[in-house]
Chain A
Amino acid sequence: MKISERTAGYSLVLPGVFLICALLVYPVLYGVYLSFFSKHSFFPEQKFIGLTNYLYLLQDSDFWMSLWYGTVYSVSTIVLQVALGVAAALILSQTFRGRNFVRGIVLFPYIIPTVVAIILWKWLLNNQFGFINYVLFALGIVGEPVNWMGKDHIMSSLVLISVWEFFPFVVLSVLARLQTIPPVLYEAAKVDGAGQLRRFFHVTLPQLRNVLFVVILLRGIWMFTKFDTVWLLTQGGGAEKYIRTLPVYAYMRTFMYYQAGLGSALAVIMFGVLVAATAVYFNLFRRGDE
């Protein structure tokens, strides 16, 4: 029996389509569907309430506060990750002794499990016996231990930990691109009398433009939806209220208030915010290109 090329094609694509539908499309659509219900997270009670969850959230001060904290967290971590990541990649693209070893070490924060990283950082930042306070105190930088997990500093601590954990991704991406910039461009710039700074701004940075576009986009999405790092930081102590970002608030609504409908509505809003931000970002990039 001869199978037509078209049938064979469909048969080959079908398992993939099925998997995408089952694992991606269905959960997303089900999430959207749930957001129109008042539903207990674990019991089968549910009632259709239309847009009530969305209308409630628009008037919910905790939602706006979470959106604000999430924005502060994602914007500050992205800026710092990119700045640190590009700087580190520039250093690692130079030739020096032990470069390969240092490259390996730089990747370390990205490959250790988040839970391990958080335990480590909570120990380092502890205001009773933490190493960081000890060093700051010994160097005379602070006169009293800093309360890294308290109201005033917990966001800074979270940003610090997140930048440490995720900047290697920027390093990796930028370093890969740096290695493909033709040396002739630098030579030509040198001939034209460009110093190191000008070479960076007029040769390196334009060459990194496309990779940075993708890196910022991906990191932006990942940081805005980051849950584990934020959540783990306040388990067993920590001023949680002051870093309650949108994913954490969505989790709380779903698994602590047991309001799956509201939790889903929050997830849908998060998705909407990301789509809007991505559209603006694409637009800005395109305009820059023109």
Chain B
Amino acid sequence: MIAKKLGVFSAVGLVLVLLLAWAGPALAAEAKVVNVWHTETNAASRKAIDNIIKRFEAKHPGIKVKAEALAWGDLEGKIMASMAAGSPPELSHGQPITCAALQAKGVLLPLDEVVAAIGENNLWDQIKKVGKFGKHYYGLVHAAGTSLLIYRKDLAQKKGLKNPKTWNDLLKAAKALTMDTNGDGKIDIYGVTIPGDNLFINILMGELIAANGGKLFDEKNRPQFTKTQMIQALNFLKELTKYMPPGWEGHGYRETFANMYGGKAAMMFQGYGRGASLIEQYAPKGWASTDYYDVWIKPHGPSGAKPAAQVDEETWMLFKGSKHPKEAIEFLKFFYKDPEYLEYIQSVPIHFFPITKSLRKNPAYLNTPMVKRWKGWLDVQQYYLEKDLAKPTLIIEWSDMNNKPYLMEILGSGILKDMVMEVTKEGVPAEKAAAKAQKRAEELLKMKGYLK
């Protein structure tokens, strides 16, 4: 009897196990998973994204969004590896030059539906230029934050300094702001700080060349590193480093901010709106305002006529070969709806300049306390965007987005950074360092088949 019961139980158990094995994946498959990789690793932005996802999932019960925050440096490699493995995420952030390179390889899907939902006229022209290739949008900026020349307004006023118009003016300002404040013969405040890591040196060189009326590559893809504009930029940097804190070449992005809010430097050439949050957190009490930390419009070089800034504006990219692209589009449409997008923008309000004109005018946005406190910083960013002075990393002319899909490799190679280090740290003449960089870049482009 017992044996018979045991047999029945076993049979029922077996049937249940088989049923679960068969139905389990089917049940799991009901929820379509949209994988989202983004570069906003800070807690506030992650929380905002999580909240947006929760609300999206509540409205779309069949869709599950899995967001993963990745460091900048890890992103490109991870995207490439995922594509090589045949399992890309549905959506990912990527530098505009990455987007351009991947679009050229034909591995992205258009985001036209999302743009249509936002309203194309509602986007800043600059934003359209970043993600539009031919007639389609293959990238859509999540938020734009231009680089800023942040300065200590209190010190500049004491020294009677005004917004430097040219690089020469900036050098004079940097010299004037390099100070021994207690008379012990040691410098206590340095004139300017810049990060020494590869990404920021590339950003800087792109900006300097644009502000000096030059190009990085000509229409035949030949590097233009030995041209006057580059030599002038290198010599300018060499001069500027005289007023930088020692060891600047080892400073990362965060450390340059620490130089600013810690009172070690009076100007930050590669500053961003994110700095406002850091200043509010870490600057001495009472200093967290534009009375102490304001922004100047960047100066131009001797061969240029107008300033140039870089825009930190990773684009959303939708991957071919991902499992649920339609659902990913739905998520992005939801993400850019004003209430959702506002929450995201407010997570780093001064750095995340909204891509939609409607949100920029939205009273809820304008009444954000930080937006009110750091209005001047946002106005300068809008000035760069409206005047078409701000472009993505290493993009000098908008046509570069379509015609130069190798900029990602140029950035990764560190050729520009090595050139800058040779001039500023090793005492190599600008012409010689530029010639070496030119040769390296030419070799790389020849190997890749972009240069004959």
A residues neighboring B (CB under 8 Å): 38, 41-43, 56, 61-62, 126-129, 143-145, 147-151, 154, 234-241, 252, 255-259, 262
Residue B432 at the chain A interface, CB threshold 8 Å: no
A236 engages B421 (CB within 8 Å) = no
User: Contacts A41-B80, A43-B105, A236-B197 known; A256 to B412 CB distance under 8 Å?
Assistant: yes
Cα distance A61–B197 in the bound complex, in angstroms: 21
Q: Which of B77, B84, B255, B412 contacts A237 (CB 8 A)?
A: B255
Cα distance A158–B262 in the bound complex, in angstroms: 27
Cα distance A239–B414 in the bound complex, in angstroms: 12
What total of chain B residues lie within 8 Å of the partner, measured CB to CB? Answer: 40
Residue B246 at the chain A interface, CB threshold 8 Å: yes
A252 engages B412 (CB within 8 Å) = yes
B447 engages A237 (CB within 8 Å) = no
Cα distance A62–B444 in the bound complex, in angstroms: 13
A236 engages B254 (CB within 8 Å) = yes
Residue B95 at the chain A interface, CB threshold 8 Å: no
A154 engages B250 (CB within 8 Å) = yes
User: Nearest 4 A-B pairs (CB), nearest first?
Assistant: A237-B252, A147-B247, A256-B412, A149-B250
A143 to B, closest residue via Cβ = B186
> What are 20 A-B contacts defined by CB distance under 8 Å?
A42-B84, A56-B443, A128-B255, A128-B259, A145-B247, A147-B250, A150-B250, A151-B249, A151-B426, A154-B250, A234-B197, A236-B73, A236-B252, A237-B250, A237-B252, A239-B425, A240-B417, A256-B409, A256-B413, A257-B413
A238 engages B413 (CB within 8 Å) = no
User: Contacts A42-B83, A127-B247 known; A239 to B258 CB distance under 8 Å?
Assistant: no
B444 engages A150 (CB within 8 Å) = no
Residue B215 at the chain A interface, CB threshold 8 Å: no
User: Contacts A147-B250, A150-B246, A240-B414 known; A235 to B73 CB distance under 8 Å?
Assistant: yes
Binary interface encoding of chain B residues 427-452 relative to chain A, with 1 for a CB under 8 A from any of its CBs, else 0? 00000000010001001100100000
Cα distance A198–B409 in the bound complex, in angstroms: 59
Give 8 new A-B contacts, CB below 8 A, not counting A61-B436, A154-B250, A238-B250.
A56-B443, A127-B247, A145-B246, A149-B251, A151-B250, A234-B197, A237-B197, A239-B425
Binary interface encoding of chain B residues 221-250 relative to chain A, with 1 for a CB under 8 A from any of its CBs, else 0? 000000000000000000000000011111
B250 engages A127 (CB within 8 Å) = yes
User: Contacts A41-B80, A147-B246 known; A237 to B251 CB distance under 8 Å?
Assistant: yes
A128 to B, closest residue via Cβ = B258
B73 to A, closest residue via Cβ = A235
Cα distance A126–B251 in the bound complex, in angstroms: 9
B80 engages A42 (CB within 8 Å) = yes
Cα distance A248–B417 in the bound complex, in angstroms: 16
What residues of chain B lie closer than 8 Å to A56, measured between beta carbons?
Answer: 443, 447
User: Contacts A149-B250, A150-B250, A256-B409 known; A241 to B414 CB distance under 8 Å?
Assistant: yes
Contacts of B381-422 to chain A: CB distance below 8 A: 409, 412-414, 417-418, 421
Q: Which of A38, A128, A240, A259 contacts B264 (CB 8 A)?
A: A128
Cα distance A259–B449 in the bound complex, in angstroms: 12
Q: Which of A42, A239, A259 contacts B249 (CB 8 A)?
A: A239
Minimum CB–CB distance from B306 to chain A (whole Å) comes to 31
Cα distance A194–B105 in the bound complex, in angstroms: 75
Cα distance A228–B260 in the bound complex, in angstroms: 31
B195 engages A151 (CB within 8 Å) = no
Contacts of B156-210 to chain A: CB distance below 8 A: 186, 195-198
B413 engages A239 (CB within 8 Å) = no
Residue B253 at the chain A interface, CB threshold 8 Å: yes
Q: Which of B80, B81, B84, B421 contacts A239 (CB 8 A)?
A: B421
What residues of chain A lie closer than 8 Å to B73, measured between beta carbons?
Answer: 235-236
Minimum CB–CB distance from A250 to chain B (whole Å) comes to 14
Contacts of B97-117 to chain A: CB distance below 8 A: 105
Cα distance A257–B254 in the bound complex, in angstroms: 26
A237 engages B253 (CB within 8 Å) = yes
A234 to B, closest residue via Cβ = B197
A255 engages B197 (CB within 8 Å) = no
User: Contacts A43-B105, A147-B250, A237-B197 known; A258 to B421 CB distance under 8 Å?
Assistant: no
Minimum CB–CB distance from B263 to chain A (whole Å) comes to 11
Cα distance A190–B128 in the bound complex, in angstroms: 86
What residues of chain B lie closer than 8 Å to A259, measured between beta carbons?
Answer: 447
What residues of chain A lie closer than 8 Å to B255, measured between beta carbons?
Answer: 126, 128, 237
Cα distance A217–B105 in the bound complex, in angstroms: 45
Q: Which of B81, B258, B412, B425 contacts A151 (CB 8 A)?
A: B425
What residues of chain A lie closer than 8 Å to B436, measured between beta carbons?
Answer: 61
Cα distance A61–B105 in the bound complex, in angstroms: 31
A236 engages B253 (CB within 8 Å) = yes
User: Contacts A151-B421, A258-B80 known; A252 to B413 CB distance under 8 Å?
Assistant: yes
Cα distance A238–B249 in the bound complex, in angstroms: 7
What residues of chain B lie closer than 8 Å to A38, measured between beta carbons?
Answer: 447
Cα distance A111–B206 in the bound complex, in angstroms: 43
B418 engages A241 (CB within 8 Å) = yes
B414 engages A252 (CB within 8 Å) = yes
